[in-house]
Structure 1
Amino acid sequence: MTLPQKPLSELYRLTDLFTDYHKLTRVERFTLIPVKAHTVTLIHGGQFSIIRSSDRLLFEKQTAPALYGLTGNSHTLSYIRIYADTQCHFQLVPLEAFMQRLEDNHSLHLIPAILSWHIESLLYRDEMMMGRNSYQMIKGNILHLNQLDEFMRAKINVADFIVKRTNLSRSIVMKVLSALRAKNYIDVKRGKLLTISQLPEKLS
């Protein structure tokens, strides 16, 4: 599985259109970044986590730039919460004003790439999680973590990451990680994933 490529060029171009819209709001680590109906949340700087509202399952960890709320669907937004992992800077822009500024700047063509990326990311997650046993989910999340950039990966505890993304028990996750480390399939230091080799299809 290959992590869908984030459309950074399109996201930077869109967020740049709003640098003069309003002063950016700064939030510290562990602070909730609001998402509201008929409002686009533009995140200009920082790292953050997307959490499922019902049970705090970790959907994803992301780095700015990012934007949420393009559909204007309040039901969709009610499923998630966004928490800052580092100091973050964001803006809230009414959806109508957001779309009008894009139209005025001939930038509506940037939207499909961003929406497609969100859809591909959900399909990627389903492929990793749905109908899988515990080892397959752990393996998938190790591979996923390994594809994140080095700076971001250095801040993530591999066991915590897997537990939060799968809701598997910590004991199961630690048992699998220990077995993989013992056979030199992965190299973990101080809880951080350093390198991986070809992970086995099954853990014997």
Structure 2
Amino acid sequence: MINTQPVDEFYRLNHRLMPSGTPFEFTQGSVIVPEESNELRTYVFLEGAISLERQTNRLLLGVVASPAIFGLAIGVMPTQEQYHLNVETSCRGYYLPACTTLQLLDKHQLWREAFYWMTWQNRMLEARDQQLIGTSSYAQIRATLLSMAKWDDTLRARIGVMNYIQRRTLISRSVIAEVLAALRQGNYIRMEKGKLVCINRLPLDY
């Protein structure tokens, strides 16, 4: 299936990276700021959901459910942007120095697995760009609702629709509220206490 998360490759990477990692646990609402560390790090998440947010404009790039790896190749070419990792649901995992990650990839010949994982990440970012760049406000809201509908019930019950759409698209809250109200009134979506319950169907145009 296109864009399916390469789980087998993740577990082969995890098998070799974990012995060199430092365990962590974070509660919901925690913010991980990799730049605050004195070293470049690879973060591996085994449980929980995490979102990636660009610091410069607070733009949310997306939510990822575990298993997940961030900073797999940061030791090769450090990013010029600064990012936060927001803990959306309590999570656990481990981190290790990025230089150690590269050494382990080389030692255990895991470049194929790393390539598969990073290609999947790039495809997810491409899909996001297709949905949000050069499209109308309604098209962006619609695409975001459809992506939220794919989450499991636990994650949807924890993340408010209004806040998530605003963080992901930077569309004004008044516009988002107007669209959501119309979709609810037309029985296109169902929400409870600000959380998305289900989508019945979404019109292509608003």
Q: TM-score, normalised by structure 1?
A: 0.86
CA distance in 1, matches of 2:30, 2:198: 31
CA distance in 2, matches of 1:68, 1:22: 14
- Which residue identity lines up with residue 54 of structure 2 in the other structure? R
The residue aligned with 2:49 is 47
CA distance in 1, matches of 2:149, 2:78: 33
CA distance in 1, matches of 2:85, 2:180: 28
CA contact (8 A) 1:4 1:124 kept: no
The residue aligned with 2:169 is 166
The residue aligned with 2:135 is 132
CA contact (8 A) 1:34 1:41 kept: no
CA contact (8 A) 1:3 1:144 kept: no
Matching of residues 1-204 of structure 1 within 5 Å: 4-35=3-34, 38-72=40-74, 73-76=77-80, 78-203=81-206
CA contact (8 A) 2:6 2:116 kept: yes
Structure 1 unmatched ranges of 5 or more: none
CA contact (8 A) 2:46 2:91 kept: yes
SS of 1:75's equivalent in the other structure is: coil
**Pairwise CA RMSD of aligned residues?**
2.3
Q: TM-score, normalised by structure 2?
A: 0.86
Deviates more, 1:63-72 or 1:37-46: 37-46
CA contact (8 A) 2:88 2:159 kept: no
SS of 1:193's equivalent in the other structure is: strand
CA distance in 1, matches of 2:153, 2:3: 17
Question: What is the number of residues matched between the two proteins?
Answer: 201
Instruction: Provide the identity percentage.
Output: 27
CA contact (8 A) 2:22 2:95 kept: no
